[in-house]
Amino acid sequence: MSEPSGHDLSSTMRIDLSREVRQHMTRTPRNVRIRRPGAFNAMDAEQQAQSESRYRELLRGIYDAVLITDLNGQVVDANPRASAFLGYAEEDLLQRSVLEFIAGSDATLLDSLRRNLESERFVLLQAYCQRQDQTYFPSEISINLLRAAETRMCFFIRDISVRREQEDLLRIGHNAIQNAVNGIAVCDLEGAIQHVNPAWIRLWGYPDAEALQGARIAGLFVGAQEVDDMLAAVYGPAGVWRGEIEALRPDGSTFPAQVSAASNRDSEGELIGMVLAGEDLTDRKKAEEVLREREAHGAMLASFGATCHHLGQPATVLLANLQMMLRYPDLSPEDRTEMLASSIEAAEQLRDLLNKMNMVDAYRLVPYIENLPGINNEAPSNKIIDL
């Protein structure tokens, strides 16, 4: 067999078996046993012993699990890590086919490996490996050919359970950000955008994420001072900022936005930027305006009752005094003077109330009757304008 060219030495074939196996984790791979091949060609006993010692030392020192097989896939050698990974004694590994340890594999895999290794230096296999206790672990397997007296296949198996868990967590986090209702943007320390989710793109009216890549966060808002305050708070001791700020779209239109910003740190706690969450407040502002208009309308309706309530007492006093003076013309000067003073006071109260009502520009309704059994303070019929 000819030695691969320089280009072939750096090339790698990748095969992924894990996708199919992930849905069938209880499946037991086919048990294939193949006759163990004969020994390597004879060599000088002393040289052979030295070579064997170096070989054993190297094999035992490799971090990954290593299975060395013949071209038919029967294991002819293994290191202690393979025994630890797969749960077999080292001598038991030598009685089995490598296909027993690669979930979802069969003889066609070996055919594919042999064929690809003729032109590729390495084959990288993503698969689940099965332990002796029938449990599985995700693995990355690098296969290459060992050309000696007899050509062997070397399987270097790496347990990527932790990496897969981290990738799954990152994938979950990424999907959560992508599917979030609120707009989310990630910026570096200079305030340049590194990533935005679809909601942010929609809110700010950009065609795609590329149009925002590298853009300064300051260019997305109207208030320069608010942006400076945001950066100072996020990159300062507080680490967070929240507030309302006028957002700016590329077409020049604006909208009120509620923005929350927090510092973004790496796994070692180093500050690397900030994360912003934005929400369009346009609908909320419209709803608040509708409520204010309803309140004003209700206040206008209640003002009729308020007029009677606030003007009733001084008007009653004034009317009663006039009637008394008309009915009893022989009142003493002292009584007449007292009634005139009371009438003047009532008239002044009427004047002040009319002026105050004429100047009202904000309406606030309060309960007409409070803290009495059977009275609902919030009932519309129990509301009156507050002067």
* pLDDT tens digits, one per residue of 72-85: 999 999 999 999 99
287 vs 307: which has the higher pLDDT: 287
Average pLDDT over residues 80-105: 91
**Cα(281)–Cα(279) distance, rounded to whole angstroms?**
6
Strand order in the sheet with 183-188: 193-196, 183-188, 271-280, 254-265, 240-248
Written as one letter, the residue type at 288 is E
Tell me how many degrees the CA angle 37-38-39 measures, rounded to the nearest 5: 125
Least confident of 27-31, 285-289, 297-301, 358-362: 27-31
pLDDT at 259 over 90: yes
If one compares 96 and 14, the residue with the highest pLDDT of the two is 96
Please give the pLDDT value at position 205: 92
Question: Which residue is associated with the tokens 């709803």?
Answer: 287
CB atoms within 10 A of CB 139: 26
- If you count them, how many residues does the chain have? 387
Confidence grade of residue 386 (pLDDT, cut at 50, 70, 90):
low
In this prediction, residue 379 carries a pLDDT of 57
195 closest CA partner among 219, 181, 178: 178
Q: Average pLDDT in the 273-301 region?
A: 81
Q: Where are the domains of the chain?
A: 6-161, 180-280, 285-385
CATH entry 3.30.450.20 includes domain 180-280: yes
Query: Which band of pLDDT confidence, cut at 50, 70 and 90, is reported for residue 278?
Result: very high
pLDDT of res. 369:
57
**Statement: residue 375 has pLDDT above 70:** no
Of the pLDDT bands very low, low, confident and very high (cuts 50, 70, 90), residue 8 is: very low
Check if CATH label 3.30.1330.60 holds for domain 6-161.
Answer: no
Q: pLDDT per residue over 207-236, tens digit each?
A: 999 999 999 998 999 978 888 899 899 999
pLDDT tens for residues 40-69?
Answer: 454 567 777 777 788 788 888 888 999 999
Average pLDDT of the chain, as a whole number: 80
Q: Which residues contact 25 (CB under 8 A, 6 or more apart)?
A: 103, 128, 136
Angle 98-100-102 (CA atoms, 0-180°, nearest 5)? 75
Confidence label for 142 from pLDDT (cuts 50, 70 and 90): very high
CA 209, CA 197: separation in Å to the nearest integer? Answer: 8
Identical fold for domains 6-161 and 180-280, yes or no, is yes
pLDDT at 322 over 90: no
Q: What CA–CA distance (Å, rounded) separates 155 from 123?
A: 10
Both tokens assigned to 272: 């690397």
Q: What local confidence, expressed as pLDDT, does residue 30 receive?
A: 44
3-state SS of the chain is CCCCCHHHHCCEEEEECHHHHHCCCCCCCCCCCCCCCCCCCCCCHHHHHHHHHHHHHHHHHCCCEEEEECCCCEEEEECHHHHHHHCCCHHHHCCCEHHHCECCCCHHHHHHHHHHHCCCCEEEEEEEEECCCCCEEEEEEEEEEEECCCEEEEEEEEECHHHHHHHHHHHHHHHHHHHCCCEEEEEECCCEEEEECHHHHHHHCCCCHHHCCCCEHHHHECCHHHHHHHHHHHCCCCCEEEEEEEEECCCCCEEEEEEEEEEEECCCCCEEEEEEEEEECHHHHHHHHHHHHHHHHHHHHHHHHHHHHHHHHHHHHHHHHHHHHHHCCCCCHHHHHHHHHHHHHHHHHHHHHHHHHHHCCCCCEEECCCCCCCCCCCCHHHEEECC
CA 102 to mean position of chain CA atoms? 35
Q: Is the model's pLDDT at 246 over the cut of 90?
A: yes
- Is 272 a residue whose pLDDT tops 70? yes
